[in-house]
């Protein structure tokens, strides 16, 4: 009779399988997959290492390891991502939030909190363009109780995921959802806004075939920024300027080497009085914040 394997044995076997395939963080990834399957947090995973694991989770682990080997992103297999300390559901319908996007949220939160402190009774309106799973706008809403946020995305699948995440974070009462293409404008009936934030698609179209295969599993519409990667900045700047309150801010994440071009686009509108560029922890210009005159 086959004896059930212990969690530790399964962990080692799974990690070896992923290591053979050439994955750097094989042990860590296998641990996350097992924790998810068995519903264990970090402490209970370690406490349970010598307990036997029954057949169904073992079979399911083999299936997940195989899918991982085929190049499916770990986050889609686990179904969640940690962002700003909150857990967001992710599915193949959404772009996987990246750690560097926390710089955008932190930069914005600092400004939003100052406004909230100066005027405690006022509601603060935020528009998140290309909201994906909701990681940016919902984090801001969760961290600043005065914020009401409008989440806008052209993808119905993404809007559905973001709706579930709003419930998960307990901010659905202060969140609106608009399924719309930003090229058709921003929802004026929802505005005016104090802050418009976006992490738009910004990869140059001809670079997409050279991206890591895993990244190419993410929705193409979340990546493709047109020929020079700047298509969405042009649209967002033009479309949001009329819907921003005086003194309001437009905050966006930018790709490597795009700061100068985006600052120029903002300056050309003559609608902003101060344009800041913020670097990430690797010293790469990552965020642009423009203050409306
Ligand atoms: C780089 S992802 C960012 C997702 C999320 N905000 C984040 O930071 O992880 C860009 C998002 O823009 C959305 N998008 C692409 N084209 C769009 C359009 N024309 N109008 C509105 N949203 C669009 C995509 O569906 C995707 O969710």
Strand order in the sheet with 244-253: 175-179, 147-153, 124-129, 193-198, 244-253, 285-292, 272-279
Q: Are 112 and 119 in contact (CB under 8 A)?
A: no
Mind listing the pLDDT tens digit for each residue in 89-128? 999 999 999 999 999 999 999 999 998 888 778 899 999 9
Q: Note the residue count of the chain.
A: 293
Percent of the chain with pLDDT over 90: 85
Q: Which atom of ligand 1 is nearest to the CA of 98?
A: 9
Nearest to 99 by CA among 245, 271, 281: 281
Contacts of 270 (CB under 8 A, 6+ apart): none
Q: Rg (Cα) of the chain, in Å, rounded? A: 21
Distance 154 CA to ligand 1 centre (A): 7
pTM for this predicted structure: 0.94
CB atoms within 10 A of CB 276: 13
Mind listing the pLDDT tens digit for each residue in 200-237? 999 999 999 999 888 999 999 999 999 999 999 999 99
Position 32 confidence tier, pLDDT thresholds 50, 70, 90? very high
The two beta strands, 147-153 and 193-198, are: unpaired
Please say if the pLDDT value at position 56 is more than 80.
no
Q: What's the helix, strand, coil split of the chain in %, to 5?
A: 45, 20, 30
Q: What is the pLDDT of residue 59?
A: 86
Alpha-carbon separation of residue 57 from 5, 10, 37, 220 (angstroms): 11, 10, 6, 33
The two beta strands, 124-129 and 272-279, are: unpaired
Average pLDDT over residues 251-272: 97
Position 1 confidence tier, pLDDT thresholds 50, 70, 90? very low
In angstroms, the CA 254 to CA 264 distance is 13
Average pLDDT over residues 118-143: 94
In angstroms, the CA 266 to CA 261 distance is 9
Q: What is the pLDDT of residue 21?
A: 85
Ligand 1 pocket test: which of 153, 175, 220 has the largest number of ligand atoms within 8 Å of its C-beta? 153
Average pLDDT over residues 186-191: 84
The secondary structure element, H or E, covering residue 151 is strand 147-153
What kind of fold does domain 93-292 have according to CATH? Rossmann fold (3.40.50)
Q: Where are the domains of the chain?
A: 7-70, 93-292
CB atoms within 10 A of CB 101: 21
The secondary structure element, H or E, covering residue 250 is strand 244-253
Please say if the pLDDT value at position 188 is more than 80.
no
Determine the 3-state secondary structure of 152 from DSSP.
Answer: strand
Position 3 confidence tier, pLDDT thresholds 50, 70, 90? confident
Position 158 confidence tier, pLDDT thresholds 50, 70, 90? very high
Spell out which residues line ligand 1, taking CB within 6 angstroms.
95, 97, 101, 130-132, 135-136, 153-155, 158, 181-183, 199-201, 219, 221-222
CATH of domain 7-70: 1.10.8
Mean pLDDT, rounded, of the chain: 94
The secondary structure element, H or E, covering residue 176 is strand 175-179
Judge if 7-70 and 93-292 fold alike in CATH terms: no
Q: Which residues are catalytic?
A: 95, 199-200
Please say if the pLDDT value at position 74 is more than 80.
yes
Q: What is the pLDDT of residue 2?
A: 59
In angstroms, the CA 85 to CA 290 distance is 27
Position 174 confidence tier, pLDDT thresholds 50, 70, 90? very high
């Amino acid at each position: 009779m086959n004896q059930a394997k212990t969690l530790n044995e399964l962990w080692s076997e799974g990690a070896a399988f992923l290591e053979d395939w050439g994955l750097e963080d094989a042990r860590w990834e296998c641990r996350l997959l097992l924790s998810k399957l068995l519903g264990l947090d970090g402490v209970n995973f370690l406490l349970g290492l010598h307990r036997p694991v029954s057949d169904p989770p073992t079979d399911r682990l083999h299936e997940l390891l195989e899918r991982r080997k085929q190049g499916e992103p770990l986050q889609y297999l686990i179904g969640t991502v940690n962002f700003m300390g909150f857990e967001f559901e992710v599915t193949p319908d959404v772009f996987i939030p990246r750690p560097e996007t926390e710089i955008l949220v932190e930069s914005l939160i600092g400004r939003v909190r100052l406004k909230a402190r100066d005027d405690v009774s006022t509601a603060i309106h935020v528009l998140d363009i290309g909201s994906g799973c909701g990681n940016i706008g919902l984090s801001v809403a969760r961290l600043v109780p005065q914020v009401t946020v409008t989440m806008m995305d052209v993808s119905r699948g993404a809007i559905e995921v973001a709706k579930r995440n709003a419930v998960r974070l307990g901010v659905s009462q202060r969140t609106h959802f608009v399924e719309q293409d930003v090229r058709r404008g921003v929802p004026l009936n929802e505005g005016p806004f104090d802050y418009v934030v976006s992490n738009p698609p910004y990869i140059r179209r001809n670079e997409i075939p050279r991206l890591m295969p895993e990244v190419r599993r993410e929705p193409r519409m979340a990546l493709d920024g047109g020929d020079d990667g700047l298509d969405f900045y042009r649209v967002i700047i033009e479309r949001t300027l009329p819907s921003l309150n005086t003194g309001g801010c437009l905050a966006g994440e930018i790709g490597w080497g795009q700061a100068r071009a985006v600052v120029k686009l903002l300056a050309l509108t003559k609608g902003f009085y101060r344009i800041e560029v913020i670097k990430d922890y690797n010293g790469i210009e990552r965020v642009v914040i423009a203050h409306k005159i």
